[in-house]
């Protein structure tokens, strides 16, 4: 009898705590292009650039019409990596407080292998990427600054840091190839394990410069001395973004793990101001740094063959804070308790005809922190600032016609009241303020290691 009881207990215990195989845990690849606004994709209406691979991913997956990032890079990276509004944890430009929990931590704690490659700009401690949950890293602007003797170091023959160790490349390398090769090597090594790979691209941030596919590519270049570079190369850089993503996608297919990999592509903020793009909905002037649509409306494409709808266009609004809840939902990872995540999972929308996961977003933006932030609440069509300006952005992208002094009725009145309620609720969110981390500890300099 005791043997029968033991057998029953074993069966019950096995059922209560099932073993999840690697094949049942989806991989996640998150790619974010730099200074890459909504209008840069041909699938979003661009007439000046061609993005055939991203367009294919969109046609076979889900494309968002109204996805929003912060107006510039560091605020976006902090919000994306932590799932929190900048009001809760943004310190200053170029810094992520070391007490913050990131998606690197969350996935590593869940048993995933983790990797980051690309642009860092979140703290120059040697161990910063590993501290934030990434086991492997190849980064630009980690322990060193942007320039070397006046030359920008991010594109040709770049100066990078691999797991905190400085490497100077001097043999005609292009950083996008180095980053994507590093990611593909990581993916190949971990193809039989669940992994989380994050690629915050250097492209298409200025200086606008030739890529290896440009006619005047110079493998001996040390980088641009002009911060902005030459905008004529922007189209080449957009094409190289598309080519690089195709390279990663092809590797996933070659390894036979594409259907078990959730791939998300987004931009980190609007296109830079020197760039003017012709689109099917008019001429768009880059507005990076602005709270207008051109500063924070970015592309979002989600691809997960066999798991989400194909060719779906989502017209409801979403933002960066939704990424952590969504990828954790897809991976069946419970969100850590005690953290006031601001986003909501849009996985149900990806998988079927679920109702909108949220009716509005709220944005808080102060480039260098401080209490004097710009704040708005908006849905896909209307935007209300905390200062009172009210715009029908669907018809007034440049916000020239303030409706705050107009008498509202019907649907417009309902939207106005909803957005005002969002702002009132957001006002209760505690500002980080004087509790912010004061600065990084002093770190010892390490000798440079030249790449062979």
| 184 assigned to some structural domain | yes
User: How many Å apart are CA 147 and CA 446, to the nearest integer?
Assistant: 17
Tell whether the torsion through CA atoms of 270, 350, 333 and 19 is positive or negative.
negative
CATH number of the domain that residue 115 is part of: 3.40.720.10
How much is the pLDDT for 39? 97
| 179 assigned to some structural domain | yes
| 444 assigned to some structural domain | no
Q: Are residues 92 and 54 in the same domain?
A: yes
Domain extent at residue 266: 25-364
Q: What angle do CA 115, 254, 182 make, to 5 degrees?
A: 30
Per-residue pLDDT in tens (0 to 9) along the chain, 452 residues? 333 333 333 333 333 333 345 557 999 999 999 999 999 999 999 999 999 999 999 999 999 999 999 999 999 999 999 999 999 999 999 999 999 999 999 999 999 999 999 999 999 999 999 999 999 999 999 999 999 999 999 999 999 999 999 999 999 999 999 999 999 999 999 999 999 999 999 999 999 999 999 999 999 999 999 999 999 999 999 999 999 999 999 999 999 999 999 999 999 999 999 999 999 999 999 999 999 999 999 999 999 999 999 999 999 999 999 999 999 999 999 999 999 999 999 999 999 978 888 999 999 999 999 888 999 999 999 999 999 999 999 999 999 999 998 888 788 999 999 999 999 999 999 887 545 565 444 344 444 444 44
Q: At 240, is the secondary structure helix, strand, or coil?
A: helix
The neighbour count for residue 39, using CB atoms within 10 Å, is 31
How much is the pLDDT for 8? 36
| 17 assigned to some structural domain | no
| 7 assigned to some structural domain | no
User: How many Å apart are CA 290 and CA 161, to the nearest integer?
Assistant: 31
Pick the closest to residue 39 from 233, 287, 279 (CA basis).
Answer: 279
User: How many Å apart are CA 451 and CA 55, to the nearest integer?
Assistant: 36
Q: Are residues 318 and 414 in the same domain?
A: no
Domain boundary among 364, 383, 400: 364
Q: Are residues 353 and 399 in the same domain?
A: no
Q: Are residues 39 and 102 in the same domain?
A: yes
CA distances from 247 to 230, 256, 276 (A): 26, 15, 28
Q: Are residues 399 and 332 in the same domain?
A: no
Q: Are residues 31 and 97 in the same domain?
A: yes
| 129 assigned to some structural domain | yes
Residues 350, 302: contact at Cβ < 8 Å? yes
| 413 assigned to some structural domain | yes
Q: Are residues 347 and 415 in the same domain?
A: no
Q: Are residues 308 and 330 in the same domain?
A: yes
Q: Tokens 């849905």 appear where?
A: 379
Torsion over CA of 87, 88, 92 and 93, rounded to 10 degrees? -80
How many domains are there within the chain? 2
Q: Which residues pair with 20 in a beta bridge?
A: none
Residues 310, 68: contact at Cβ < 8 Å? no
Domain boundary among 325, 345, 364: 364
121 — phi, psi (to 5°)? 60, 40
Q: Are residues 425 and 303 in the same domain?
A: no
Q: Are residues 334 and 273 in the same domain?
A: yes
Pick the closest to residue 362 from 1, 32, 38, 88 (CA basis).
Answer: 88
Q: Are residues 322 and 408 in the same domain?
A: no
| 16 assigned to some structural domain | no
27 — phi, psi (to 5°)? -75, 155
Question: Is beta strand 195-200 parallel, antiparallel or unpaired with respect to 113-119?
Answer: parallel
Q: Are residues 359 and 404 in the same domain?
A: no
């Amino acid at each position: 009898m005791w043997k029968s009881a033991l057998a029953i207990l074993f069966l019950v215990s096995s059922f209560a705590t099932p073993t999840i195989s690697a094949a049942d845990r989806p991989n996640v690849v998150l790619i974010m292009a730099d200074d890459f606004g909504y209008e840069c994709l041909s699938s979003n209406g661009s007439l000046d650039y061609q993005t055939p691979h991203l367009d294919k991913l969109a046609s076979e997956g889900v494309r968002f019409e109204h996805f929003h990032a912060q107006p510039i890079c560091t605020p976006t990276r902090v919000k994306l990596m932590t799932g929190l509004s900048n009001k809760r944890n943004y310190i200053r430009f170029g810094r992520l407080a070391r007490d913050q929990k990131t998606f690197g931590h969350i996935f590593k704690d869940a048993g995933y292998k983790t990797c980051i490659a690309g642009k860092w700009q979140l703290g120059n401690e040697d161990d910063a990427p590993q501290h934030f949950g990434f086991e492997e890293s190849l980064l630009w602007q980690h322990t060193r600054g942007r320039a070397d003797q006046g030359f920008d170091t991010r594109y040709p023959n770049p100066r990078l840091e691999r797991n905190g160790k400085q490497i100077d490349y001097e043999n005609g390398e292009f950083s996008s190839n180095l980053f994507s090769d590093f990611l593909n090597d990581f993916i190949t090594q971990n193809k039989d394990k669940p992994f989380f790979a994050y690629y915050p691209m250097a492209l298409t941030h200025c200086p606008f410069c030739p890529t290896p596919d440009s006619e005047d590519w110079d493998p001996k270049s040390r980088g641009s001395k002009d911060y902005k570079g030459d905008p004529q190369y922007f189209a080449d850089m957009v094409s190289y973004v598309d080519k690089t993503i195709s390279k990663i996608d092809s590797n996933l297919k070659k390894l036979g793990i594409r259907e078990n990999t959730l791939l998300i592509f987004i931009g980190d903020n609007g296109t830079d101001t020197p760039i003017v793009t012709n689109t099917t909905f008019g001429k768009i002037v880059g507005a990076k740094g602005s709270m207008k649509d051109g500063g924070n409306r970015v592309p979002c494409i989600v691809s997960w063959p066999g798991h989400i709808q194909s060719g779906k266009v989502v017209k409801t609004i979403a933002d960066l804070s939704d990424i952590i809840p969504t990828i954790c939902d897809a991976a069946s990872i419970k969100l850590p308790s005690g953290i006031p995540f601001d986003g909501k999972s849009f996985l149900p929308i990806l998988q079927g005809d679920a109702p909108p996961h949220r009716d509005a977003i709220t944005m808080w933006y102060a480039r260098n922190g401080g209490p004097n932030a710009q704040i708005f609440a908006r849905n896909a069509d209307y935007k209300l600032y905390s200062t009172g300006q009210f715009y029908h952005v669907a018809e007034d992208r440049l916000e020239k016609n303030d409706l705050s002094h107009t008498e509202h009725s019907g649907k417009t009145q309902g939207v106005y009241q909803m957005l005002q309620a969002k702002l009132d609720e957001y006002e209760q969110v505690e500002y980080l303020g004087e509790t912010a981390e004061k600065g990084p500890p002093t770190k010892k300099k390490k000798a440079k290691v030249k790449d062979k």
